Amino acid sequence: MAKVWRSSQQLVLLQLCVVAVQAARLYIGSCEGIRSRECPACGKMAVPYPLSTSDSCGHPLYKLVTCTDKKTLQVKALSGNYSVLSLDPLSRSIVISTSPFIGDSCITQDSVTSHNFSLFPGSPLTVGGGNTVLLLNGTDVLRYSPLNCRPDGPCGRGLQAVQQKSCRSLLCCSLVIHEGETSDFRYGFPVFGMETGYVSLLDFPDPSVPTKAGVDAGTIGFGMRLKWEAPGEPTCETQMECGADSTCVKAAAPICACNHGYRWDATTGTCPKVPFCIRDSGSIKCHKIEYATGLTLGFVGLIAFISFTVWMYRRRGAAQRAHAKLVEERNMILATNSGGKSARLFSKQEMKRATNNFAPDRVLGCGGFGEVYKGILDDETEVAIKCTRVGKIKGVDPVLNEVRILSQVNHRNLVRLLGCCVESELPLMVYEYVPNGNLEDHILQVAKSNVMLDWKTRLQIAFQSAEGLAYLHSAAYPPIYHRDVKASNILLDKSMNAKVADFGLSRLAEPDLTHISTCAQGTMGYLDPEYYRNYQLTDKSDVYSFGVVLLTLVTSERAIDFKRNTDDVNLATMVQIRKEHCKIDEVLDPQLVKGASKETVNSMRWVIDLALECLHESRLNRPSMKEVSEMLQQLILSLEASEREGVQKSDGYVYIDV
């Protein structure tokens, strides 16, 4: 036994010595040659990696720019080429020149040179934050959209600066693009499908701050800010395409993977040596020291490593005891005033096991708050695990308090929160698993069952969803506003009962960084225009969004669909226009109307009227969710009573509905 112990000691010491010598060799080693991938400058403007102007430089997937006449750098887009005004490789942003603004003249389509801006589908370029887009000479359909068409908005203030009074009556609307909203424009920049001129302004003054004076057209910064994503390692076919510091790894998509001891740098497109190379003014430099100094440092490191190992063994027991105490304290926070329904605290390892280390095939979907994974706990319970991306997160204890409040929300038409995990960088919320997909999929007939929902089932889903939202507004304490009510956030169980998901997650963000105090967030087509304009969230904002859900139930149409006619892109606008022209039957789903009784068709028209009440421009004139729920319940009871009668009497004869 003693020999075995001594052999083990010798083996450990040998391994430690090898580690120390390798550390010394790395320290005194020099950098390998690194192949430059930056493209040459275009005139006076540098072209940073990964932007590519030719096949011999940059990243192959970033051929987004072209150098015209060797002096003018332009961005290539689906709608044309645009001159580059400035480049910032640190923030990965490009400012391009779009349509100029003609001061002291009417803002019409003639004032601009372009009516549309579209990026290539799948392009790494996206529209960045800080852009204010003015839609010029628009049609009245814009008044029904969530755009800012008010006189004190950016367009209105711009018109005040124009000396020609005849111009000030023109309709002009604006769309402010905030940081973090780039995904909405990843596949193009739609202007609501209309032949409408646009002007893009950079860092325009906050439209929510009223000003007495007009905007001086000569001081406005014109252009559009774009951003690009940081690239990964470049693809390759042979080793010749990679430098000495990388290897062409054969896989489904072969890439030049950095060798051991090197790390990919997306800014320069190179593989610098990690431990002892430093970046100096954009280049990689290595500093050699004497060999003896390296060996000395190696042995010093060996002694430090042995000392650290002994210290770690002594600390391990204390750390385990401290962790157990911390878990106990957090569980006590979750159990405080829980009424027997306390949330469970999950560990990070439990979440990894439940999701197979967050495998891509476990992803159920991606919503406004983050990705959702299907998980199976150790006791075989199926759950839905959501990564909450809601901005800057509160501290651990405040998050646990919010989870404790949300876990007390107990209603048959709300997805129940089971617990959370706070050990990861972002909180992981664990919900009950609802297996039958969401309402939007069923309405659009893309669910696995591919069975169309009948009108009776749709009414029941609408009533149950309204019941759940009314509970959040009226019965929960404190009241909870959903903020993102839409058809895809209404889940269906095996019996086609509705359960509203994603409520209350905005409570996890810092109060001064939520949607209430910064930009309005939500889903286009469902977003309350009044909330979009003044950033004040109330229960009536949820009522507006629910009105759009009602319209999707009656029409079987998407809230926003660019495949429809220009004036019908926005579903709420389309129905409002049909109502004004007494053509409401045109929007009813023909499959629902086919074979339906007169009472059933009348109930569809009644639901449209209720939806339009929810969509009233002023939130003061909208009903509460409790009132909406009661009206839907009364409609269901009325239809059921009509079905039970089953007969109609007329002129002394009895007619039986078949």
484 is catalytic: yes
Contact between residue 275 and residue 262 where contact means Cβ atoms under 8 Å apart? no
Contact between residue 461 and residue 412 where contact means Cβ atoms under 8 Å apart? no
Of 245, 484, 542, 589, the active-site residue reads: 484
Nearest to 349 by CA among 369, 375, 371, 367: 375
CB atoms within 10 A of CB 654: 8
Question: Any binding-site annotation on 494?
Answer: no
Nearest to 173 by CA among 218, 203, 212, 143: 143
Contact between residue 176 and residue 92 where contact means Cβ atoms under 8 Å apart? no
Contact between residue 501 and residue 439 where contact means Cβ atoms under 8 Å apart? no
Contact between residue 575 and residue 555 where contact means Cβ atoms under 8 Å apart? yes
Residue with tokens 């032949």: 195
Residue 305's identity, in one-letter code, is F
Q: How many angstroms separate the CA atoms of 609 and 548, rounded?
A: 12
- Angle subtended at Cα 87 by Cα 86 and Cα 88, rounded to the nearest 5 degrees: 130
The full 3-state SS of 420-449, as one line of letters, equals EECCCCCCEEEEECCCCCEHHHHHCCCCCC
Q: How far apart are the first and last CA of the chain?
A: 92
Using the Cα atoms of residue 233, residue 234, residue 235 and residue 237 in order, give the sign of their dihedral. negative
- What secondary structure does DSSP assign to 270-330, as a single string? B--BTTTEEEETTEEEE----HHHHHHHHHHHHHHHHHHHHHHHHHHHHHHHHHHHHHHHH
Q: How many angstroms separate the CA atoms of 98 and 219, rounded?
A: 16
Q: How many angstroms separate the CA atoms of 1 and 427, rounded?
A: 49
Q: Tokens representing 321?
A: 């005891």
| Residues pairing with 200 in the sheet | 133
Exposure of 235 by Cβ count < 10 A (0-12 exposed, 13-18 middle, 19+ buried)?
middle
Exposure of 353 by Cβ count < 10 A (0-12 exposed, 13-18 middle, 19+ buried)?
middle
User: Which residues belong to the annotated binding site for ATP?
Assistant: 392
User: Which residues belong to the annotated binding site?
Assistant: 392
Residues designated as active site: 484
